[in-house]
Structure 1
Amino acid sequence: MMTAICESLEEVRTQIDRLDRQIVALVAERGGYVKQAAKFKKTTDDVKAPQRVEQVIAKVKSLAGELGANPDVTEKVYRAMIAAFIEAEMAEHARLAGSASGD
């Protein structure tokens, strides 16, 4: 990845703001898929899926190495994001289970 050379703190902040917009858009898109995944999972253990979490962590750490990102930062960001998505998916799973039982 090529990082633009900035001439001021304002330029740095402008670039970070531009990236934040893209990152949040991608988080929103990822969240849409997480929400859909809830309907395919039968139990809360399926939602938590610790083996899948570790697969994702290994994959993104490898990607970090390929793309020049800090693997430790990438892992921490992904662990936090995945934990938050699991919490949201658990709520969606519970909502779907409640509506399936006629509540």
Structure 2
Amino acid sequence: MREFKNIQEVRESIDYLDNQIVKLISERSRCVEQATKFKKDTNDVKAPKRVEAVIQKVRTIADENNVNPDIIEQVYRTMISCFIDHELTHHSKMNNKQR
């Protein structure tokens, strides 16, 4: 990581990173929507075992990258919860179209 000379450089870097993060979340969202096609019911959507596996995986990645795993877990639990809600809505719409 580079050393910043002033707060403006820090903010510009954060703005750049935010842009990249949102693009990656958008890509993740499209994957989540695609996954809906392969799930039979709401239990498949909620997939608590998969959620915990993802949490463990990102905690390990956090450790490897010198970031607090508790922060990453909180961020991911929030993100996953939002995606599950989104996926449940998407799944419901798909099921209504098939009827």
TM interval, short-chain normalised:
over 0.9
Over the matched positions of the two proteins, sequence identity in percent amounts to 48
C-alpha distance in structure 2 between counterparts of 1:68 and 1:30, whole Å: 23
1:89 matches 2:87:
yes
Provide the residue aligned with 2:65 in structure 1: 67
Please state how far the C-alpha of 1:67 moved relative to its aligned partner. Answer: 1.3
* TM-score using structure 2 length: 0.98
* TM-score using structure 1 length: 0.94
Number of residues of Structure 1 aligned to a counterpart in Structure 2: 99
Letter in 1 for 2:55: I
C-alpha distance in structure 2 between counterparts of 1:70 and 1:16, whole Å: 18
Provide the residue aligned with 2:55 in structure 1: 57
Q: Which runs of 5+ in 1 are unaligned?
A: none
C-alpha distance in structure 2 between counterparts of 1:84 and 1:21, whole Å: 19
Q: CA RMSD in A?
A: 0.6
1:14 matches 2:12:
yes
Please state how far the C-alpha of 1:98 moved relative to its aligned partner. Answer: 0.4
C-alpha distance in structure 1 between counterparts of 2:68 and 2:19, whole Å: 21
C-alpha distance in structure 2 between counterparts of 1:50 and 1:27, whole Å: 20
| 1:16-45 Cα shifts (integer Å, max 9, x gaps) | 000000000000000000000111000101
Please state how far the C-alpha of 1:69 moved relative to its aligned partner. Answer: 1.5
Provide the residue aligned with 1:24 in structure 2: 22
